[in-house]
Each structure stands twice: as structure tokens, then as C-alpha cells.
Amino acid sequence: MNIKNTGKKATIVAMIAVAMLIGAIGGSTVLSAVTANAQSATITPAVSNTKPDNGTSNEAQSGRTLKPNEDTAHEAKESPEREAQENAGKFPTVK
């Protein structure tokens, strides 16, 4: 009788040890994946839509040339300030 109980205890202890080992391996895998994901986060800079201080827009600084729309229907809707900027060769900053 005593030998059977010892065998059962050894089996139960072995099963518990294996379960703990599997749990530790699984937990460390999940933890390392979360930690690696947190360390590899990339930060993308925000796009700035502000105009430079010298009165030209970002498009003018990039080397693009201004091609104003001189259609009469379009010109009738433009403000005098916008037309003056177009005539000066600057990208309009007003509507």
C-alpha cells in the first residue's frame, strides 16, 4: 500500500512540476513579446502647416513655381489680397 501511494504522489508532483514549467515558459514568452513591442514603438513627427516668417509658403520653398488661374470666372471670385499675392509671384496665403 505504501508503494502505491508513493507512486501516485510522485506522479502528481511530476505533473505539477511540468505544469509550472510550461506556465513559466509561456509567461516569459508573453512578457518578452510585450516588452519588445513597447521598446520598438516608432514616433512619427507631426506635419506642420504653419507658414514661414518670410512671407512665402512651404510650396514656394520647395522649388515649385506659381501658376495662377487667370480665368475670368475664377478671377471674379478672388479677393484683392489674393490677386496681389499671385501678381507678386507668391503662393497665396489668403482666400
Domain that holds residue 14: 1-39
Residue 93 lies in a domain: no
User: Which pLDDT value is given to residue 50?
Assistant: 55
Residue 51 lies in a domain: no
C-alpha cell at 34: 510585450
Residues 64 and 32 placed together within one structural domain of the fold:
no
Mean pLDDT by 10 residues, the chain (95 residues): 78 95 88 66 60 51 70 81 84 76
Residue 15 lies in a domain: yes
Q: How many domains does the chain have?
A: 2
Q: What is the DSSP string of 22-51?
A: HHHHHHHHHHHHHHHHHHT---PPPPP-PP
C-alpha cell at 33: 513579446
Residue 44 lies in a domain: no
Residue 47 lies in a domain: no
Specify the 3-state DSSP secondary structure of 6: helix
Residue 9 lies in a domain: yes
